[in-house]
Amino acid sequence: MAFQRAKITVFGAGFVGSTVAQRCADKELGDVTLVDVVPDMPLGKALDMFESSPVERFDARIWGTNAPEDCADSDIVVITSGIARKPGMSRDDLLKTNAQIVYSVVDKVREYAPKAIIIMVTNPLDVMTYLAHHRSGFPKQRVLGMAGVLDSARMASFVALELNVSIKDISPMVLGGHGDTMVPLPRYTTVSGIPITDLISPERIEAINKRTQTGGAEIVNLLKTGSAYYAPGSSVVAMVESIVKDQRRILPCCVLLEGEYGLKGSWQGVPCVLGKNGIEKIIELKLNDAEKKLLDTSNQHVAKAIAECKTLLGL
């Protein structure tokens, strides 16, 4: 029986999407289909990426297309499609536009790749993950959002800078929504098993937490005309790899909670075991009162955004 590589489809060939496609191919996680509405652009990017394979020595095919139905039979679908907020555009306008884009993509996935696992990247992340689940009708195990891996990576980066130690020894943990109310957890963030609360002063930990919460905005302010894509792309690929290889890594992802952490019907970033079926298990950490309060605040923020979205879209 011939070996069949996984099929990974990435919707949106912008900076994040193309980074995901290239790194999935580099790691030989599967064959990659890159989809975008801009005429010929994804074909050109995909051809350029594939032409790097003889140099980088990876065995993976990369195709570009303007036809969403080319996602057919995908094992994993990564959705980065959406627009950035433009001058004069209200938050509601942005949400409505991106919701329509996500709906159009999810409709194609539901029709042509009904067994796929969906990883959402489009912002506002928590709301868009909810919409993808609602629109697709897929089991909750097969719809998840990329946020916690990125937020945790940013926290780990800042810890490494603070302590001047190898990034390889740092295991970070961030819960909650993908925004200013996310919940970095210093007690569960370790360096070679040592909690950072034993290594860094409370004042410096607070500074690291704050920088983690505003990490995306910091990069936007520096770039002036764009947002982050290298770290977000790598974060998506870590999730894809754990699923494709059935690694069962514990990674923080935006998922539907149905009683975990005392939350029901909530979309929050929490640690999950990721394997061949998507979300294999949700890990419920023992939080102290202060941490529970922060997670509750984050949950209220996300719940309010989803409620506003439902009203705006008439759901």
Distance CA 123, CA 55 (A): 34
Identity of residue 244: V
CA dihedral 55, 58, 60, 66 (to 10 degrees): -40
Distance CA 121, CA 147 (A): 8
Is 134 one of the catalytic residues?
no
Q: Is the CB of residue 64 less than 8 Å from the CB of residue 44?
A: yes
Helix H, strand E, coil C: the string for the chain is CCCCCCEEEEECCCHHHHHHHHHHHHCCCCEEEEECCCCCHHHHHHHHHHCCHHHHCCCCCEEEECCHHHHCCCCEEEECCCCCCCCCCCHHHHHHHHHHHHHHHHHHHHHHCCCCEEEECCCCHHHHHHHHHHHHCCCHHHEEECCHHHHHHHHHHHHHHHHCCCHHHEECCEEECCCCCCEECHHHCEECCEEHHHCCCHHHHHHHHHHHHCHHHHHHHHHCCCCCCHHHHHHHHHHHHHHHCCCCEEEEEEEEEECHHHCEEEEEEEEEEEECCEEEEECCCCCCHHHHHHHHHHHHHHHHHHHHHHHHHCC
Q: Which of 133, 134, 178, 301 is catalytic?
A: 178
Which of the residues are catalytic? 178
